[in-house]
Structures are given as structure tokens and as C-alpha cells.
Amino acid sequence: LFFLCSLGVAFIAVQWSGPSFHAESLKGARVLVTGASTGIGEQLAYHYARLGAQLVITARRGNVLEQVVNKCLELGAQKALFIPADMANPEDSDRVVQYAIDQLGGLDYLILNHIGPSPYRMWDGDVEHTRWLLQVNFLSFVQMAKNALPTLEKSNGSIVVVSSLLGKVTSPFALPYAATKFALNGFFGGLQHELAMQGSNVSVTICTLGLIDTETAMEKIKGYINISAYPAHEAAWHIIAGGASRLTETYYPWYTYYVCLFRDWFPYYRDLATRNSYTYNPQTVG
């Protein structure tokens, strides 16, 4: 019993401390980060910059990306460039990957992080928005991965997919968003198998995140749920460590791992707890 308890404690400690890696290994690494104008993507760019990486960042707003690039150069990035792109346009996914490969002379890390704006409320039957969001949050990830795979194969590179607990466990108010995250887990989880079966050099890391204190997330959940949000810079560091360690999956913060582990044990109580954790007043919200 003592042995089992010790094993359990050691396991929990490993989950809490997160993956470890050699910071030196990222010096000069050629990295493409999507959705890097704000939030977790912006923090990813700053961490990579401090580690001395060569960066290409993308999002829609060129003026904001320019400021992020300037800060990256101040922080120590060997190279920092930006390319404005809208992932609702399939051509933009091709253009961004090609630009990064051309400018950096190849690619070591493809960090797929962007998400399109989506309302946080009861689903109103808007199928068109769901279709659009699947393009932005899912199909563009698939397309960029396809375009980057040949160069990543040459460099022993990595694809890092930023996903969510909402891609593992169902919940109300974010149905189109959650659908895109479930799709990512299904696609990139399957890709992990296929790459392993083919003896590929490319690793795929899927990051499951809980609530993170980015401006957009905080604004969305206001009035719906009251749980602690974890810092974006820590989430970003965890994502970088997971990718550099070539883990297949990584979880941040710690509780997301246990939610996934115990997800199917008591479905009735899980669903009850999920619904009760939200505030829903049909008079005031959609």
C-alpha cells in the first residue's frame, strides 16, 4: 500500500511540475507561432524570443504583430518576422507556412494556436458560424500541418497543437468552439499514430488547457462561471516545454489531467456537476 501511495504521489508531482527540457535546445530553433498578436500566442512568442529562437508570427492584425515582433527582438530573438493572415482564407494557411520556410530556411516547430472569435452563449442554431469556425480553428491547422510536414521531417521537427479541456469534455455555451477542439484532438491524435507507424521523425504534441487568464477568455466567461484562471505566460511555457520534450499530450493546469482521467467514471454526476457550475438565467442571457 505504501509503495502504491508513493507511486501515486510521485505521479501527481510529475503532473504538477510539468515537462522539463533543455532551454539551450531552443536557441536558434526555427519557430512559426499562429495567433501570436495577443493572449497565449503572444506569450509563446516572448518565451521563444528569450530562449533565442528564430520566429515567424502570424495573426490578422499586422500593426499589433509588428509591436510583438519588436518586443521579441528586444528580448533576444535571433530573428523575428511577422506575416498578417486570415485563417478563414485557405490560401493564407499555405502562404504563411511557405513564408516561414523561405524566411527561416526550414522549420523546427509549428505552433498551431490561433482561434477565431466565437460567442459564448446558448447555441442559436447558427450553422454558418460553425462552418466558418471549423475552417479557422480546425481546417487551417490541418492545412498548415500538411504544408509543414515535409520540412519538419527533414529537421526532426514538431507540431504543437493548442487544444482545450472543452475538446475532451462536453459543456454548454461554446458548442462550435468545442466542436473544433474535439476535431483537432481526433485528427492530430490519429496523425500521431500514423506518423509513429511510418517511423516519422516528426512529433505531434496536443496541449489540453483549462481556463487561462487571457483578455478574450475572461471577457467571455464573465457572469457564466466563477473558477480560477491560470496565467497565460505559464500556460505558454508549459506548451513550449511539452513541444520541446516531444510529449504526445500535455495538460495545463494540473486539474485538466484529472478531469480527463476520471471523465467517464461517473457520467451522471459529471454532467450534474458541469451544469451546476454555470450560472444561467434565461431572462438575461441568450
What is the set of active-site residues? Answer: 177
| CB of 5 vs ligand NDP, minimal distance in Å | 32
Q: Which of 31, 53, 97, 162 binds ligand NDP (CB under 6 A)?
A: 162
Alpha carbon of 98 to those of 68, 133, 175, 231, 243: distances in Å?
A: 21, 23, 32, 32, 21
| CB of 7 vs ligand NDP, minimal distance in Å | 30
Please return the burial class of 158, using the count of CB atoms within 10 Å of its CB with bins 0-12, 13-18 and 19+.
Answer: buried
**Residue number with CB closer to ligand NDP (142 or 153):** 142
Q: What is the DSSP letter of 135?
A: I
Q: Is 256 helix (H, G, I), strand (E, B) or coil?
A: helix
Q: Which of 60, 95, 246, 270 binds ligand NDP (CB under 6 A)?
A: 60
- From the list 132, 28, 128, the residue with the least C-alpha distance to 87 is 132
| CB of 208 vs ligand NDP, minimal distance in Å | 8
Site for ligand NDP in 180-239 (CB under 6 A): 209, 211-212, 214, 216-217
| CB of 121 vs ligand NDP, minimal distance in Å | 16
Asked if 69 interacts with ligand NDP (CB under 6 A), we say no
Asked if 144 interacts with ligand NDP (CB under 6 A), we say no
- From the list 145, 162, 149, the residue with the least C-alpha distance to 242 is 162
Count of other CB atoms within 10 angstroms of residue 3: 7
**For binding to ligand NDP (CB under 6 A), which residues are involved?**
35-41, 59-61, 64, 85-88, 113-116, 136, 162, 164, 209, 211-212, 214, 216-217
